[in-house]
Amino acid sequence: MWKRVILFLLLGVVLAIGGGLGFLMLRKPAQVAASTKTVARTPERIARGEFIFAHLADCGGCHSQRDFSRACGPEVPGGRGRGNVLSDFLIGFPWVVVAPNITPDVETGIGAWTDGEKIRAIRDGVDKDGNALFPGMPYDAYRQMSDEDVEALVAYLDTMPAVHNPLPKTKLDFPANIMVKFAPRPAGSVPPPQRSDSTQYGKYLTTVAGCIGCHTPSVKGRPTPGMEYAGGEVMATHAGTVVSANLTPDMETGIGKWSEEFFQKKFYDYKEYAEKGPPPVAGPHAFTLMPWLAFAGLPPEDLSAIYAFLRTVKPVRHYVEMHPGAKS
């Protein structure tokens, strides 16, 4: 009798676990219906969207074809937004992860998506069919992007040249394929930042630029608490390896001694490269994934605001060797 009871209990546990896994496999991430709004494509809005794409959010960093034989990996002409298999570029990545084609090509891009579906993907993290996007796409940061800016970005995406570039779909193994469903959440309506408050505006720019994502060390994909902006995230690729810098105002290991003028100069030193094209990579110490070419196009007032915000983050004493094993 007791054996039969135990057998029924075990069977119940197995069925409960199986049912739970089945539910998780089939469930959709948190989401709302995509807006039916069609974004107006005014020249001003398109220009702002191109600025966000090319300079602030650096969308091309993942979605454009890039030439890493040259300093800073500039975009290849005609390769903007065509998409890439990122896991082929990264070393030791366990899954197939794809930054999809985001040009208006109907067959291989997002030409068949509505503007509302594009906005939802950028900020909420779900695709046209309501499936979760891999959180390597920084929608957790883009969730803070204002309604005005996300609509401007979509207006620009709508006007980009279509590129036909078939790509595979992202494929995650268990349990990552279930865990990813908990990352998306609706952004709702986001007001524009207050530009009159330099620190708050800098926080907005730094968030949309995704600075914290690269400049915070992580363990198994989870940011280390208390180490925000302290650098140390290792990015190993087939083009080279680089470790993110400490951006906190620590006086010894961060940017505490940097003046605002020096901070801006670090970016504007790349202006000539951005305008005329960078030279070939001169050794492993020159490899970088920092989007210097993109950020060199930020106006001085934006860099001043970013600097002002970074001065307010908690100083963290954390020495980082950005090019391990490479002679400077």
pLDDT for res 9 = 46
CA distance 28 to 126: 9
Q: Which two tokens stand for residue 321?
A: 């060797």
CATH of domain 37-192: 1.10.760
Per-residue pLDDT of the chain (328 residues; tens, 9 = 90+): 554 545 444 444 444 444 444 434 457 999 999 999 999 999 999 999 999 999 999 999 999 999 999 999 999 999 999 999 999 999 988 899 999 999 999 999 999 999 999 999 999 999 999 999 999 999 999 999 999 999 999 999 999 999 999 999 999 999 999 999 999 999 999 999 999 999 999 999 999 999 999 999 998 878 999 999 999 999 999 999 999 999 999 999 999 999 999 999 999 999 999 999 999 998 777 899 999 999 999 999 999 999 999 999 999 999 999 998 766 5
Show me where the domains of the chain are located. 37-192, 194-328
Whether the bond between 138 and the residue before it is cis, its omega within 30 degrees of 0, is no
Q: Which two tokens stand for residue 188?
A: 């709702």
Q: Half-sphere exposure of 50 toward its Cβ, with a 13 Å CA cutoff?
A: 12
pLDDT for res 327 = 60
